[in-house]
A = this chain, B = another copy of it.
Amino acid sequence: MELLILPLICGIISLIFLSILAKNITKEKVGNEKMKEIATAISEGAMAFLKKEYKYLSVFIIVLFIFMGIFLSIQAACAFLVGALFSMASGYVGMKTAVKANVRTANAAKTGIKEALGIAFSGGSVMGLCVVGLGIIGITILVYIFNFNIEYITGFGLGASSIALFARVGGGIYTKAADVGADLVGKVEAGIPEDDPRNPAVIADNVGDNVGDVAGMGADLFESYVGSIISAITLGSFVAVSIGNNALIYPLILSALGIISSLIGILIVKAYKGEKPQKALNNGTTVAGFLALILSSGACKYLFDSLTLFIPVVVGVIVGIAIGKITEIYTSSDYKFVKKIAKECETGAATNIIEGLAVGMKSTVVPIILIVIGIIISYIGCGGMKDSMIGLYSIALSAVGMLSTTAITIAVDAYGPVADNAGGIAEMSELPKEVREITDKLDSVGNTTAAIGKGFAIGSAALTALALFASYTQAVNLESINLLNPLTLVGVLIGGMLPFLFGALTMESVGKAAGEMVEEVRKQFREKPGILEGEEKPDYARCVEISTRAALKEMILPGVIAVLAPIIVGILLGAEALAGLIAGGVVTGVMLAIMMSNSGGAWDNAKKYIESGVYGGKGSDAHKACVVGDTVGDPFKDTSGPSMNILIKLMTIVSLVFAPLIVQFGGILFK
């Protein structure tokens, strides 16, 4: 128990560190009046969305809180509440920082790339530290209060997952609706450039980057982070009798050491004085990763007097990085797949779509094989063949290991949208071209490093879901889940169908929301012809409002389905059918997540590749074809794809938390 002080201290240190970083950002100069004005509009729009979203979510939270209080326990309900609030807090802090850092990055870019990197990366770091700080503090305090009673602690994970799903879906719909709306009418129909202040949807578009890529991603990673730790603690509680109580604390120690390593990595990036930001980011990430591994090996030796349980940590890190690298190969224009997609644009949009879908589908192969190898090595390497629980615990540890340096991963990931936003502000406030060039460069250098973050997200989602799945079966006292039982198969089929339904709903939502935005922008151009001449000011607020309303309305159904489906199947068909549902959901969910994210990423980069001048460059027929792919890819990679990762974990954790209910009432159809 006394070892719990380490994660707590690390959590507090990261919160202190982030307040310093945040204060330093605030101290930086905002720039001229016009920049201030635009930044304020973006900031207000983003905050207005978050406020409204949180209002909706509070209804959901209260309902589920009461439901849990009645049917489960008040402790679980409280843990859920804390998880939900902490998740919302990470989203809030991240976004609050991002909307400050964006304009200051734009202003610093006037001086040079080094200065701009400093501020943008600080913004990302605040977000990363907030996620891990709140995550580890929350879990540490709860395990202390509830004395590692997992029936309560898992409530924290449920809070984190459910908010993450809503935030990802809502934010994803918002950002894509605004993006598509702005592009379709502005760029294509009116022929004005990206981020042009005459475009009524331009502010909404920039708000979207913040609510989708920053707040949505923050909640998403918060849930990955705490999900993996909680699944490992849960399985740890089943192996504590055989390998000692340190099994409970090990995941928290790993995470704490990861925070220390990340902090050092962040300091290395911040201390960088050269002109190549890519190098700074690489150095920081690499040092953090190695440091985390070295410290973890020490912790493992100290806690278990053996290095066996260090194996899954290494496996997790390697698998995560490998998936990231594979992701890059399938989605970067340096490799043959994106080049092939670009080539197919020469014969039109249809061949581009077919090739993009095929690349996405094919890109599932290697990540799945890597995950499979990771599972087998972790399981067998730690003695799973003799004691299956230890093997499963070890699988959970590999997810924790993968995510231990989450802080710096997020810092690298989240600084992209800040730089992107800075570029938008530079454009809208008509700063010199060099400023935009610097922010563009900053945005692009983060992409390679960010690919590793995506690999971690996919890999950890699969592993965490499997670990949570194992915990669920323990919680409902299933000794085995027999696939030969037709009810299990029925569950597998239903579970396998849900990600398809979920993907369809989220894609259609983007379409609907984007459609409303398109109409609004067209209307403004029609009713105020002065806008395009630059004589009249467009009504930015109206576009922001439309995105907000549409995104929030559309996020409800998919979110509610994800929470209710497992409970309904469990109650109607029983615990084994629900286990099948989880397994089916994980398998199709992981495939669709990889496929949609990679197809989307590949289309995006194929477009950029053509815009760089090949196959006729901008304005050519090939370019028109690739824009179609890019537009299809938008909801793929920024809404439906990333939500899948959360969906599979949410369905699993819902099952785990409501296990007592399922045990008591499950399978009423056959009673």
Contacts and interface: CB of A to CB of B under 8 A. Distances in A.
A568 to B, nearest CB: 12
Contacts of A139: none
A494 B670 contact: no
A391 B482 CA distance: 15
A493 B344 contact: no
A580 B344 CA distance: 37
Given A348-B631, A466-B486, 13 more contacts: A347-B518, A358-B508, A359-B504, A361-B500, A361-B507, A362-B500, A368-B493, A372-B494, A385-B670, A388-B485, A388-B486, A588-B588, A628-B628
Interface in A509-536: 510-511, 514-515, 518
A518 B632 CA distance: 25
A628 B392 contact: no
Given A391-B486, A489-B375, A631-B350, A358 B507 contact: yes
A486 B590 contact: no
B591 A511 contact: no
Contact of A579 (B470, B483, B497): B483
Total identical chains: 2
A416 interface: no
A587 B364 CA distance: 16
Interface stretch (A90-98, A251-259, A321-329, A376-384): A376-384
A25 to B, nearest CB: 37
Nearest to A485: B388
A354 B511 contact: yes
A526 B451 CA distance: 46
A182 interface: no
Interface centre among A482, A504, A590 (most CB of B within 10 A): A504
Interface string A336-366: 0000000010011111011101111110110
B591 A490 contact: no
A501 B361 contact: yes
A353 B599 CA distance: 14
A348 B484 contact: no
A584 interface: yes
A583 interface: yes
6 contacts: A354-B511, A354-B631, A361-B503, A372-B493, A496-B587, A496-B590
Contacts of A388: 484-486
A184 interface: yes
Contact of A583 (B359, B375, B492): B492
A392 B484 CA distance: 9
A426 interface: no
A104 to B, nearest CB: 35
B670 A493 contact: no
Q: Which 5 A-B pairs have the closest CB atoms?
A: A350-B631, A361-B504, A496-B587, A481-B483, A480-B482
Nearest to A473: B484
A380 B489 contact: no
A508 B184 CA distance: 29
Contacts of A493: 368, 371-372, 462, 587, 590
A635 interface: yes
A505 B629 CA distance: 19
B354 A632 contact: yes
Contacts of A392: 484, 486
A636 to B, nearest CB: 9
A492 B357 CA distance: 22
A566 to B, nearest CB: 15
B486 A376 contact: yes
B489 A583 contact: yes
A501 B482 CA distance: 27
Nearest to A588: B588
Interface string A130-172: 0000000000000000000000000000000000000000000
Contacts of A369: 494
A103 interface: no
B486 A379 contact: yes
A536 B46 CA distance: 66
A204 interface: no
Interface in A434-492: 462, 466, 470, 473, 478, 480-490, 492
A395 interface: yes
Contacts of A631: 348, 350-351, 354
A364 to B, nearest CB: 5
Contacts of A478: 484
Nearest to A184: B347
A211 interface: no
Nearest to A627: B350
Contact of A584 (B353, B362, B587, B632): B587
Nearest to A481: B483
A595 interface: yes
Nearest to A585: B587
Contacts of A629: 350
Contacts of A379: 486
Interface centre among A372, A375, A518, A670 (most CB of B within 10 A): A372
A663 B649 CA distance: 35
